[in-house]
Amino acid sequence: MSIQSSDAESGRYWDRVRGLGFALPYCTDCGQFHFYPRPACPFCGGTRIAPARASGKGEVYSYSVVHRAPKPAFAAGIPYAIAIVATDEGPHLLTRIVNVDPDSIRIGMRVRVCGPAAMPEPLFEPDEPQVPKETP
């Protein structure tokens, strides 16, 4: 799974992000982050946009737990959670939540970037203590 786009603007963005860690497009004209990468700021129309390091933290805005593999290649990973994470900087990202029992994910759960530190495949994991499952 990847959030990487194949269009030219997005490709140039990901090339510039490598080495920065978790970064989002940042408009130096109005001082706001946005996502997805695009040639003009969606808030002010400014074109002075560059990747800027972001906190890598946010909260679960929405999620879905996949129990039936859409293709055989995904079968080993089920169940897994697809989520929209609202980053603390504002942009919402389509991603996966990992290192957690998918049934314990909740709307509003605090999460942080994990796995490969650099884009373009940021995954998120819980950023709060997990309550262990009770055993009968």
Chain contacts with Zn ion (rule: CB under 5 A): 27, 29-30, 41, 43-44, 46
Residue closer to Zn ion, measured from CB, 17 or 41: 41
Residues near 90 by beta carbon (within 8 Å), at least 6 away in sequence: 32, 33, 34
3-class SS of residue 85: strand
Select 43 or 80, whichever has its Cβ closest to Zn ion: 43
Nearer to Zn ion, 21 or 46 (CB): 46
Minimum gap (Å) between residue 26 Cβ and Zn ion = 9
Backbone angles phi, psi at 74, to 5 degrees: -95, -5
What SS3 state is found at 11?
helix
Smallest separation, CB 41 to Zn ion (Å): 3
Tell me the closest approach of the beta carbon of residue 42 to Zn ion, in angstroms. 8
Q: List the alpha helices (DSSP H) in 6-78.
A: 8-17
Spatial separation of the C-alpha atoms in residues 55 and 115, rounded to whole Å: 15
Q: What is the smallest separation between the CB atom of 27 and Zn ion, expressed in angstroms? A: 3
User: Which residue lies nearer to Zn ion by CB, 42 or 79?
Assistant: 42
